[in-house]
Chains A and B, each alone.
Chain A
Amino acid sequence: MKSEVRDSLHARSVVRRAAPALAGALAAVILVACGTDPELRTQDISGSLPDLELALERAPEETPVTEADYEGKVVALYFGFTHCPDYCPLTMARVGAAIDGIDPDLSDDVRVLFVSVDPERDAPEQLARYVSGFGEQFEGLRGDRRTLREITRRYRTTFSYGEPDEHGNYEVAHGTALYVFDREGEARLLARDDEPIDDLQHDLEVLLDSG
């Protein structure tokens, strides 16, 4: 009995000693999770994802492009496909609307890179036609399966294909996030598909104004 009391007393003192450390660790995690720039309205992801880096081909001419082609620009990166019935056209339309609200002198410096994760169906001409419908800042980029795996792994997203139906149509699972990089090429924002257009416009303006 006595030693049980001693056990529990010992335990209590140990817990008391460990409690600040545990609380500190918890606070650190929460801070990391919520350490957002008060100026920004969509999710601030500074430091979480690597800088802009890509090696793809721009539709329709299939010109090779890298991050160097977007130096000094605010870049919004999206992974989608032109047959997408929901997320892609909606998100692109929202981004287009947000860009339309920005002062034209500034909005020239925005590039929206729509990377097709379904290169089999998205022929260069079709992809170029698709993205041009959303605005002049939009570019359609393509790459082979390997290159696509590399870039999606880098930004911790993925894509996969469902079984084709009798007409050869298949589902493509892809991320719905828009990744925004600042003029220095640093990953800054993650916008979800349901982000209010005003917030998106506001944050793009913040990034355009800085630097």
Chain B
Amino acid sequence: MDTTLDWFLPYHFYPEVALFAFAGVYLYTTGLIRQRRAGVQVRVWPAISFYAGVLLIYAMMHTGMDYLAQYLFAGHRTQHLIIHHHAPLLLVLGGMGRVFPWALSSSTLAWLRWVGRSPLLVGPWRVVAHPFVAGVLFVGVIFVWMTPEAHFEVMLDIDLYRAMNVSMVITGVLFWSVMLDPFGRARGGFSFGLRLLLLWFVMLPQMFLGAYISLVNHEIYDVYDVCGRAFPIAAMTDQRIGGLLTWVPAAEMMAIVALLVLRLWMREDHEYGRALRERPA
């Protein structure tokens, strides 16, 4: 943090972040190249979205941003906003499920399908991939890690800190992929209307938490005092900015995803409606 270079290098080296970035870029790029060779149309916007998602997570975890996230409450809230809301949404919009299989050999794919069918995975997956559970997990991790006692512990113990950040990315990708599943009720998926309702229910507690943090007149997270701040800034100012970041942009993300869900809904309605109309009586 003393030279410009420090801001571009990892403050802590996290193998999981390096592996994620490397594997993600490798699989997606190889997938795209093979799609192109096979004559499958390569979609530009999803690709841009995917790479942007990987880059954002890398930037939040492996640059000076991670330093700010550890020693400024507002920095921490920014990091989580990006790795929980924005970057996972970009990854999901990148259509990993369509591109990754192209990068894998047929035997690896067969093996993955075999593993994926194992009852040990199918049961738990059905539970966590249920929209209600995914929603509870999405907002639940925020509340668990924001409990003042847990928050203090996380900011001392580097392994807990890593676990926290991994949990933010995973629950983000899970929730957005469930919300943006193109299969609505007409095709055996989860109702688009209920998804909109669920988004609203997931938004509310985040808004209340953010409003509470930014509006109370006492310090909730003293760990940043105890461990020192990235630059001399008043504790209450830091807390208010962090609270606002939890409150406003997080709610905005819910609105953006609601629009994406509406788009999927209209598309399915249109196609399914046409199929119904064209069906011989």
Q: Chain A: residues with CB nearer than 8 A to chain B?
A: 3-4, 7, 10-11, 14-15, 17-18, 22, 25-26, 29-30, 32-34, 45, 47-49, 79, 145, 149, 152-153, 156-160, 162, 171-177, 190, 192
Contact = CB atoms under 8 A, between A and B. Distances in A.
B68 to A, nearest CB: 10
Interface in B33-71: 67, 70-71
A15 B229 CA distance: 40
Given A14-B127, A48-B153, A157 B228 contact: yes
B149 interface: yes
Contacts of B140: 22
Nearest to A173: B232
Contacts, number: 103
Given A11-B132, A22-B136, A26-B144, A160 B12 contact: no
Interface residues of B, number: 41
Interface centre among B2, B12, B156 (most CB of A within 10 A): B156
16 contacts: A22-B137, A30-B147, A30-B149, A30-B150, A32-B153, A34-B149, A48-B157, A49-B156, A149-B1, A153-B11, A156-B155, A156-B156, A157-B227, A173-B232, A176-B225, A190-B226
Given A7-B190, A14-B127, A26-B144, A160 B230 contact: yes
B218 interface: no
Contact of A192 (B67, B147, B226): B226
A29 B150 contact: yes
Contact of B230 (A15, A145, A158): A158
B220 interface: no
